[in-house]
Structure formats: C-alpha cells, structure tokens
Structure 1
C-alpha cells in the first residue's frame, strides 16, 4: 500500500528515495522493525530550549509544578518579551512528544479575552449599552470588538453579562481554530472587572436574577459549567477592553 501511494505521488511530483526517516521537524524517530515499534524523542530540542532560556543553576527542581502556581507579580520588559517564546516552544513540545506537560503549559493562560461594558451609553431613546472585547494569544492582541448591544440591559451587571457572553463566543472561535491545526491552548480565560457578572456566570443558583434575558446570552454560563472557558476578575485599570466601551483619556493610554 505504501509503495502504491509513493508511485502515485511520484507521477505528479519529483521524488528522491532518502531511506528511512530519522528526524522530522526536530523530532528524532527510531524504528525497530523486529519489535514493530517506533520511538519519538525531542531530546535535542529540550536541551536547546534549556540552553536558550534557563540558567544552569536553576534547572533542577524537586517539585514539577505547584498545585496553584503563584501569579507573576513583576517582570522586566525582556522577560515579558521572552515568556511568549518559551510558552510557544513548550506548546510545540507538549503537542509533539510530551503530553505530560500539557496541563502545566495550559496554566499560562495562553488564550484570554478582556471583556467590558458601558451601561446605557447610547444617548438616544433606546439607551442601550456598549460591549467591548479584546482577544489575546499570550499577550498578543489578535482580535477586538466595539459595538452596541442588541438588547436593553436593566443594570450594569446585565450589560457586563451580555458583553462577557459575546466575548466567550469570540474566544471559543480561536480555541477551535487552534485545535483544528493541532494546537491545544488549554481552557481560555475571560477577564471581567464586574464581580456581579462573575458571580452570576459561575453560580446556577443566581439564574433568577437574569432569567428575563434572552436565552442566547446564557451561553457563557453553560460553557463555564462544561469546563470550556473560565472567568476571572481583573481590575478596571488593567482591563484592556475599557478602551472599546468608553473614552478613557490620555492618562490611561
């Protein structure tokens, strides 16, 4: 069968017989025909990764990963620039030969979306709110949105809830896109500066507060319960979606 496929390909494109493959995209391939096994390793890639990004004195650790990793409180400009490179390389490693580090790499919040709303910002008689979102692939802005909501929110929490639902749809699109090309980005994170929205999104018991809202806006709650997304609090001054819902002034910029 393999021979027939090679013949068909050879009819359309020029091919050279190079023998058994030993390396492919940085993966070392060792085949044992007698045992009918194939071994895949990225030892050289890991060594190169360590040499580039990790000091030799810090390489050994008796604890692979804390149960709850401590958040990064301060990082230099050089470290913020280097970190996305490291995570990208670790993602390639986890998708290649080391699925055992997938969870640890996923803790880095590779895919996030900032969500915000400005309640009743429309000055017309409709008094509708505005939604804003900003999607980041490891701190790199890849998509953004600023638009009036299609429903009239009765409170700031409702407006933020609708905005968070719209942000959920956007970030899940990118998760599915990465999955289609073989990249596991973990669980996307929605960042909101409204604690009420976070509460009603997580707790089904709070359903009565927003049961009058169109069912499509409860999309976020279902996906949080199913483990497809997670929602966290972010301070208003750090919410990068603010710029898409209201004038923020030169100080914020």
Structure 2
C-alpha cells in the first residue's frame, strides 16, 4: 500500500459489511488464501490501542469477519491502510490545559450490525481534556429501540466513569461528580426517573444502576447536541468535516 492514494476517512459510507455466506467463502477461497487479513487487522489494532482512537470503529468493523474474510472485507482493511497513509503524523496530543477532571461522552448506533442487528456502543473519556479511554463495540444483546441502545451504552459508560473517578482520586485529584455527556434525551430522562418503565423493564438490571449513580451524585448525565458529540466517531462512518471536528476536540492532531 506504499503507493496507494490516501483517503480522508477510515471507512467509506459505501461499505455495508456483513458476514460471508458459505458460498462466498468457497468461491473466494483461492483469492483469500494468500491475503494477510488477520495480520493486517492485528497490526492496525495495535495502532488503535496505542494512539489512534480514530481507527476504533473501522477496526471493530473489520475484526468481526476475521475468521472468514472475503474480498469486500479485505477492501475495507485496505481502505484503513489508505487512511493511515495520509495521516502518518496524526496522534494523540496531551496538554496541561483545563481542569484535571474526568468527563465522558457516549453514543449508540441502533441496529447497526447487519448480521444480528445488534447496536454499536461508542464512548470516550477525557481527563483535563486529554483522551485516556475509548471503546467501540457491538452490544451483547439486541436492543429493541433507540432508547434501549442508548441506555445500555450509558450503563457501560457509567461503569467506566466510576473506575476513572476512583483512579484519579487515588492519585490525589479529588472529584465528586463525573459528567457523562449523552445526545439521547430519552436515555437522560430514564437515568433520572423510570418514565419509560413499561418499554425498558426487560433490560438487564445491571444497566439500571445508572439511576442510583445519578441519585447519589456520583455521575451526572448531561445533554449534548449530536453534532457536537465526539463519541459519534466510535459508532458510525461520519462525513469528513464532522470527523475532523471531532478529532480536533479530542486532540488527535498532527501537532
């Protein structure tokens, strides 16, 4: 890929990836025999875990097919490599600007998994404005509504917020309340009052502890407009402009 043309996003909107059928695997077996799919994905994952959160969603996508990849999956991996080709100097940047406090941002993409229609959870946490934790993954259960998908994501983000809060308190930086920003008004309402109980009573009890954390003032769920939510890059393919804006906010830059 050394001479490949660079692209502006890790994945294009035209990629609609799903698991290969047995027929597709058989037909493309010869083509895929010498393709280093697993090695390429593993190396890309190393970059993402180290200093490239902007790769999280794309790598999470191609990793789903690591056991039986076909040509379209390999094309998606090469797209990520083309993105890296043009962003070799991009990395996480840490500064001492702002207050040393934990803040979280979370988002969900309802029914995004084409195989089982599972939703995607995305979250990112900053300390003093610097990114320290991020995640993009399929939810373990199938959400029956957008509210449920966001509620599950909020539950996952709340656990991460508690851990980070405890960690920085051990370091001597006391913080009573962690703000977790969410762009779902219904999930925020649910965190403060079980107003949609009939529609969400089937959700695993472990996600409902968000209300307890809110009532005890350990976390505060705050509304953020979707266009300003940086966690969007961990749940879906974004337009170039919006992605660049999120990367600037998260201090993933060339500086």
Give the TM interval when normalised to the shorter protein. Answer: 0.5 to 0.7
Change in 2 beyond 3 A, CA 1:155/1:177: same
- The residue number in structure 2 matching 1:153 is 143
- The residue number in structure 2 matching 1:234 is 224
**200, 203, 206: which is aligned to 2:193?**
203
User: Higher relative contact order at CA 8 Å, sep ≥6: structure 1 or structure 2?
Assistant: 2
Q: Distance in 1 between matches of 2:166 and 2:195?
A: 29
Task: Output aligned runs, 1:53-202, within 5 Å.
Answer: 83-84=97-98, 87-88=99-100, 110-124=101-115, 126-202=116-192
Normalised to the residue count of structure 1, the TM-score between the two structures is: 0.56
Q: Distance in 2 between matches of 1:205 and 1:141?
A: 33
Q: Distance in 1 between matches of 2:129 and 2:141?
A: 31
SS in 2 for 1:200: helix
Give structure 1 regions of 4+ aligned residues with deviation exceeding 2 angstroms.
204-209
Give CA deviations for 1:41-93 in whole Å, capped at 9, x if unaligned.
Answer: xxxxxxxxxxxxxxxxxxxxxxxxxxxxxxxxxxxxxxxx7752xx35xxxxx
**229, 232, 246: which is aligned to 2:236?**
246
Aligned-residue offset at 1:148: 0.2
Q: Distance in 2 between matches of 1:156 and 1:205?
A: 15
- The residue number in structure 2 matching 1:214 is 204
Q: Distance in 2 between matches of 1:169 and 1:179?
A: 15
Structure 1: state its 5+ residue gaps.
Answer: 1-80, 89-109
Change in 2 beyond 3 A, CA 1:203/1:135: same
Normalised to the residue count of structure 2, the TM-score between the two structures is: 0.56
Change in 2 beyond 3 A, CA 1:196/1:144: same
Q: How many residues are aligned here?
A: 149
Indicate the RMSD between aligned Cα atoms, in angstroms.
1.5
Instruction: Find the structure with the greater CA-based Rg.
Output: 1
- The residue number in structure 2 matching 1:223 is 213
Q: Distance in 1 between matches of 2:108 and 2:166?
A: 25
Structure 2: state its 5+ residue gaps.
Answer: 1-94, 245-255
Q: Distance in 2 between matches of 1:129 and 1:116?
A: 10
Aligned-residue offset at 1:111: 1.3
